[in-house]
Amino acid sequence: MKDEHAVNERPDAIFFLCLFYAIHMVEEFSFGFVEWGDRYFGNFDWSQNLIGNFIFFVCLVCACYLYYKNSTKHLWVGMSCAMWILSNAFLHISATILSAEYSPGVVTATVIYMPGGLYFLVKWARKGLLTWKNIVLSFIVGGMLFMLIPTFVRSVYFHAQLAKLFHLVS
């Protein structure tokens, strides 16, 4: 694959993930995510929410741009973005189910993140690009390092509700 866009003839579609994120933020900000996050993540406030979301958004835009510039070379970056939104959806959906309480963001996570992330994974799978190496690397970077590990470590540290739901603390 010498062509920089051999993987994807429309690499600009990856920027839809930024739009999905923005819509998701509207739901979280509008329906009390900070108060929910304080209980479920522990010691969470508006400044942490704004700074954290700004950092995530900048990382997402940069990653999408790398993929856009050369989707062949940076395929794992695009896949990491898809894994990140799927991991975020997992947290919202599982917290809502396990707690029987609305997690602000669960609607967009279910209606936008799940189909959006799966769309890209299916697209890459149809091209034969979902190798175990790509799946594992993108899950480690996008799912674990950017979403699950920081969220669960914080929750365990503060003995917050999320850690209790997953039986990580008593």
Report the range of poorest mean pLDDT among 6-10, 40-44, 58-62.
Answer: 6-10
The pLDDT assigned to 5 comes to 59
Contact 23, 112 (CB under 8 A): yes
Scanning the structure block, which residue is given the tokens 């809502």?
96
| Per-residue confidence (pLDDT) for residue 1, from 0 to 100 | 42
Count of domains in the chain? 1
| Helix/strand/coil for 70 | coil
The range of the structural domain enclosing residue 61 comes to 11-165
Residue 4 located in a structural domain: no
Vertex 96: Cα angle to 92 and 97 (nearest 5) = 120
In angstroms, the Cα distances linking 139 to 5, 52, 73, 97 are: 22, 20, 17, 23
Of the candidates 3, 28, 160, 44, the residue with the CA atom closest to the CA atom of residue 105: 28
Task: Judge whether 6 lies within some domain.
Answer: no
The pairs formed by 103-111 with CB atoms below 8 angstroms and a separation of 24 or more are: 103/36, 103/40, 104/27, 104/28, 104/30, 104/31, 104/32, 104/33, 104/36, 105/24, 105/27, 105/28, 105/31, 105/33, 107/27, 108/20, 108/23, 108/24, 108/26, 108/27, 109/24
Question: What is residue 10's predicted lDDT score, i.e. its pLDDT?
Answer: 86
Instruction: Answer yes or no: is 37 within a domain.
Output: yes
Q: Specify if 170 maps to a domain.
A: no
Residue 116 belongs to a domain = yes
The span from the CA of 108 to the CA of 138, in Å, is 22
Does residue 32 carry a pLDDT above 80? yes
Are 137 and 81 in contact by the 8 Å Cβ rule? The answer is no
pLDDT higher for 9 or 131?
131
| Better pLDDT: 7 or 26 | 26
Q: What is the pLDDT of residues 96-148, one digit of tens each?
A: 999 999 999 999 999 999 999 999 999 999 999 889 999 999 999 999 998 99
> Does the residue 25 lie in any domain?
yes
- Whether 49 is covered by a domain: the verdict is yes
Would you state the pLDDT for residue 121? Answer: 94
- Within its chain, how far is the Cα of 77 from the centroid? 13
Q: Per residue in 46-59, pLDDT tens?
A: 999 999 999 999 99
- Residue 49's pLDDT is 93
pLDDT digits (tens, 9 = 90+) for 66-101: 999 999 899 999 999 999 999 999 999 999 999 999
Residue 23 lies in a domain: yes
Confidence class for position 9, pLDDT limits 50, 70, 90: confident
User: Does 6 score more than 90 pLDDT?
Assistant: no
